[in-house]
Amino acid sequence: MSQPIQAPQPYYPQIDKNVQPQVTVHLQRIYPALNDLNQAIITLKSQLNEATTTTTSAATTTTASTATQTTSTVTKFIGLGTVNNQTGATSYTVQTSDNGILLFIDDASAVSISLNSMVGSPYLVFITNFGAGTATLTPTSGTINGGASYTLAQNYTCLAVFDGTNWWATALLIEPQNTPAVAHEWLASYNSSTGAFTQTQPAFSDISGTVAASQLPTPTASTLGGVESAGPTTHEWINEIDTSGVPHLSQPTSADVVPASGTTGSRPSVHATGQPYFDTTLGIPIWWSGSTWVNATGASV
């Protein structure tokens, strides 16, 4: 411990008698104030020294306590940082030596893990299931998450903790896998066990809703598109649908209609097979056979 600093004796210098009286009075008042300031500085320094000594001592004590606690923790979790590989095993019982360990399971069949409740507390074990078979964790006594058992699916890891009476397990979820975009396909499903997405191309029936008019293509002579409706108009027909999808109606003339009768010279030049025509020159009905006009007996006329 440092020795206390001794306060100096007050200092009052002799004032020359030639100094004017009013100045002498001011100097006599200043000197005591200077002595008080000097004493205050000495006292403050002494207090700072004591605070520094106390802080250093407290820091030393805290460091020693932390080091002791860390050593104790490492001693309790004796398996921390190591792996217990039980690949191929279909059953296993955790031991005291597994405290803090990573228990590795990998088998195609179901795996039974017995959580030994005779181990001390605190106790924890990491369990990873890489096998296709589901791992079932069952305590020898007490419960796990309030139930009789806990299942661990393939590619999942859980942290199982024992509190001295019951077990508690928390699964660490699988991270989704990166899935690059594929033209014209969407994400159809997700596998929570592997983190993988599947992609498929949607069918027309997968799409719902109503298409807007602006989304329809305009029709052309060779492609389909959106077409407006057109109500019936007496004696008119649709004679055109333009490239904007608009139908146009007009009334046909006599030249637009195939005549049902006429002279031999007026027979239709555009006709369909089986089309009838009454030839007024011959006075008989005739039909187009596909290559020539014939009468009821099938003879060309």
Closest CA to 91 of 108, 116, 115, 111: 111
Alpha-carbon distances of 224 from 216, 217, 218, 240, 270, rounded to whole Å:
10, 8, 8, 15, 28
pLDDT at residue 209, rounded to an integer? 86
- Is residue 184 in a domain? no
Environment class of residue 65 by beta-carbon count within 10 Å: exposed (0-12), middle (13-18) or buried (19+)? exposed
Chain Cα centroid distance, residue 93: 37
For the domain that residue 152 is a member of, what is the CATH number? Answer: 2.60.120.640
Residue in this structure with the two tokens 């924890």, named with its chain if needed: 124
- Is residue 21 in a domain? yes
The verdict on 100 and 163 lying in the same domain is: yes
The verdict on 93 and 156 lying in the same domain is: yes
pLDDT at residue 191, rounded to an integer? 81
The verdict on 22 and 72 lying in the same domain is: yes
Give pLDDT tens digits for 49-83: 665 555 555 444 444 433 334 344 445 788 888 89
> What is the extent of the structural domain holding 54?
11-76
Distance CA 226, CA 219 (A): 6
Give the chain's residues under pLDDT 50. 1, 58-74
The verdict on 149 and 112 lying in the same domain is: yes
- Is residue 119 in a domain? yes
pLDDT at residue 182, rounded to an integer? 92
- Is residue 233 in a domain? no
Give pLDDT tens digits for 208-232: 888 888 888 888 888 888 898 898 9
The verdict on 65 and 123 lying in the same domain is: no
The verdict on 102 and 159 lying in the same domain is: yes
Residue finishing a domain among 27, 58, 76: 76
- Number of domains making up the chain: 3
- Is residue 209 in a domain? no
The verdict on 25 and 87 lying in the same domain is: no
Residue finishing a domain among 112, 145, 172: 172
pLDDT at residue 65, rounded to an integer? 39
The two three-digit tokens of residue 204, written as one number: 């027309």
The verdict on 28 and 67 lying in the same domain is: yes
Residues contacting residue 126 through CB under 8 Å, at least 6 positions apart: 101, 102, 103, 157, 158, 159, 160
The CB density around residue 292, as the number of other CB atoms within 10 Å, is 11
**Residues β-bridged to residue 175:** none
pLDDT at residue 216, rounded to an integer? 87
Residue finishing a domain among 58, 76, 94: 76
The verdict on 130 and 164 lying in the same domain is: yes
Alpha-carbon distances of 184 from 161, 187, 201, 202, rounded to whole Å:
47, 11, 6, 8
pLDDT at residue 61, rounded to an integer? 45
The verdict on 71 and 87 lying in the same domain is: no
pLDDT at residue 4, rounded to an integer? 54
